Amino acid sequence: MFSPGIYSSRTQSVIRGVKMTSRGTPSRFLQSVLQNGVGRYVCQLKRISIIFSKKAQSSLGVRDFIEEGVVDYAKKNPGTVVYVSPQPCRIPRIVAEYLNGNVREELVTSKTSQQISELLTKLTNQSGLDIIRIRKPFHTDSPSIQGLWHPFTNRPPTIVLQASLL
C-alpha cells in the first residue's frame, strides 16, 4: 500500500486510522491523541506564531492584543511557545503548530483583541487532528463478544414493562 521511503511511520498511522465512506467523506473511530487523558493532560499545541505588520490598518487588533493580552495568554499556557513576529505584510495571521506535526494557519484581518483571544483559546483546546465525522461515539481495542451493557440487560422483560408503566 505505501512505499517505504515516501511516508514516515507517523503519517502512515494517521492515514490508516482514517477511512473513506461510501459518501466520499472521511471518518474514523473516536480516539484520544497519544493516549491523552490516561495519565496527565498534555496540551497538544506546541507553538503559536503571531505574524503582523507594524503599520498596516488590518493589523490594528493584533497590535492591541500584543499590548494587552499576549503576556496573559503566555502565563496561562506555559507549555506553548509564543512567537511575536513583526513583518511587512498585508494580512496578519496566526500559525499554530501541534505535537502531531499539523500546522493550522488562521487569518486575523481586522479582528479585535477579544476575537483574537477567543481564537487562541480555540486553537489551544484543539488536538491538531483534522475535524472529520466520528463513526461511533465509543470504541475499544478489545471489544466484548457479549454486546453493550445497560441497566436492563439481565432483567426479565416483564419487570421492564411494569417499571415503565409506573
pLDDT band at 6 (very low <50, low <70, confident <90, very high): very low
- All three cell numbers of 23, joined, read 459518501
Could you give the CA distance from residue 121 to residue 41 in angstroms, rounded to a whole number?
16
* Per-residue pLDDT tens digits for 61-74: 899 999 988 899 89
pTM: 0.63
Percent of the chain with pLDDT over 70: 67
How much is the mean pLDDT over the chain?
76
Residue 21 is predicted with a pLDDT of 59
Q: What are the start-end ranges of the E strands in the chain? A: 19-20, 26-28, 45-52, 81-86, 93-98, 103-107, 133-134
Residue 8 is predicted with a pLDDT of 41
Neighbours of 39 (CB within 10 A): 7
Q: Please name the residues in contact with 57: beta carbons below 8 A apart, sequence gap of 6 or more.
A: none
* Per-residue pLDDT tens digits for 122-131: 998 887 777 7
Could you give the CA distance from residue 97 to residue 30 in angstroms, rounded to a whole number?
22
